[in-house]
């Protein structure tokens, strides 16, 4: 009987050591799980912030794109008006041109352009270049003279001012289109960069979550192993108590099982006495 008691005590010591090892590893894994949970929360917070910022850029981009469409419609209308006024001015210049013995303005403008092109592209002697420049200056002077006479006509002057105003309005609309388009493109680029960052953070969050699950699973396994070892210790203590009592060896009463022992037995579907149930209820209170 002494050998049996010694063997039981040896097994109990081994089970206690094993339970302590599993509990220590479980506690380390739980601490690591808390760290992974905190990291996951930080990544998710950053992901949500970046996603919200990206959505803000998307909304601004869409608003600016709508502004671009409106500005384009305004530009088309301004261009039509400018073209109409330019045609009106041309017609007035043709019908209200001053009576002169020289060629009409449109012909002098054409000749001036030809001379300017020849001056830029031809290799001329010094004398030829001077004569060409003199002809260009003469044409410019005659064109200006006729334009000045035309502007004295109230109808022509009014049409010229309206045409200039229409042209400036068209240019302003074109500039608005360009400015809005540039701003919309910047918002789009910012949005794309942020969504790329969101995708990266989502992958990071998935990896961290997977690691958290792995650590928690390992912690649960260690906890189950610890509870199994504790339950085995309790069974061995009962066997030791019975063996020592039978041998006439004085023994102290069995200590009531700890709370975690009772929970372990309850999870395994084992029987729990009325005293154990009262102990559990007391710990719950």
Q: Is the pLDDT of residue 256 over 60?
A: no
Distance CA 150, CA 98 (A): 7
**pTM for the whole structure:** 0.61
Identify the pLDDT of residue 88.
Answer: 85
Distance CA 134, CA 142 (A): 12
Question: HSE (CB half, 13 Å, CA atoms) of 231?
Answer: 17
Q: Which residue bears the tokens 């061995």?
A: 236
Q: Is the pLDDT of residue 280 over 50?
A: no
At residue 54 the predicted structure's pLDDT band, cuts being 50, 70 and 90, is: very high
Identify the pLDDT of residue 258.
Answer: 56
Residue 146 near residue 96 (C-beta atoms within 8 A) = no
> pLDDT tens for residues 182-198?
999 999 999 999 999 99
Distance CA 123, CA 165 (A): 41
In sign, the C-alpha dihedral spanning 7, 9, 15, 18 is: negative
Minimal CA–CA distance to 233: which of 2, 29, 26, 22? 22
If you average pLDDT over residues 57-66, what whole number do you get? 97
Identify the pLDDT of residue 283.
Answer: 47
Per the prediction, the chain carries an average pLDDT of 85
Identify the pLDDT of residue 278.
Answer: 52
> pLDDT tens for residues 205-215?
999 999 999 99
Identify the pLDDT of residue 41.
Answer: 96
At residue 17 the predicted structure's pLDDT band, cuts being 50, 70 and 90, is: very high
């Amino acid at each position: 009987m002494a050998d049996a008691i010694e063997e039981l005590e040896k097994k109990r010591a081994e089970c206690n050591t094993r339970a302590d090892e599993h509990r220590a590893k479980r506690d380390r894994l739980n601490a690591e799980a808390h760290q992974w949970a905190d990291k996951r929360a930080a990544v998710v917070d950053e992901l949500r912030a970046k996603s919200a910022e990206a959505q803000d850029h998307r909304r601004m981009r869409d608003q600016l794109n709508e502004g671009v469409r409106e500005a384009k419609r305004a530009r088309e209308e301004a261009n039509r008006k400018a073209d109409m006024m330019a045609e009106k001015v041309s017609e007035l210049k043709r019908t209200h041109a001053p009576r002169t013995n020289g060629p009409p303005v449109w012909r002098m403008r054409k000749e001036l352009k030809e001379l300017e092109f020849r001056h830029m592209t031809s290799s001329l002697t010094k004398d030829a270049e001077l004569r060409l420049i003199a002809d260009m200056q003469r044409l410019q002077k005659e064109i200006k003279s006729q334009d000045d006479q035309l502007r004295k006509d109230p109808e022509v002057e009014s049409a010229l001012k309206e045409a200039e105003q229409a042209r400036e309005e068209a240019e302003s609309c074109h500039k608005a289109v360009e400015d809005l388009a540039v701003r919309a493109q910047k918002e789009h680029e910012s949005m794309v960069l942020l969504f790329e960052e969101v995708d990266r953070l989502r992958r990071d969050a998935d990896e961290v979550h997977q690691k958290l699950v792995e650590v928690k699973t390992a912690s649960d396994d260690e906890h189950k192993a610890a509870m199994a070892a504790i339950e085995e210790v309790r069974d061995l203590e009962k066997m030791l108590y019975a063996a020592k009592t039978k041998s006439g060896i004085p023994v102290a009463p069995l200590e009531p099982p700890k709370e975690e022992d009772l929970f372990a037995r309850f999870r395994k579907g084992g029987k729990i006495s009325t005293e154990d149930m009262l102990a559990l209820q007391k710990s719950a209170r």
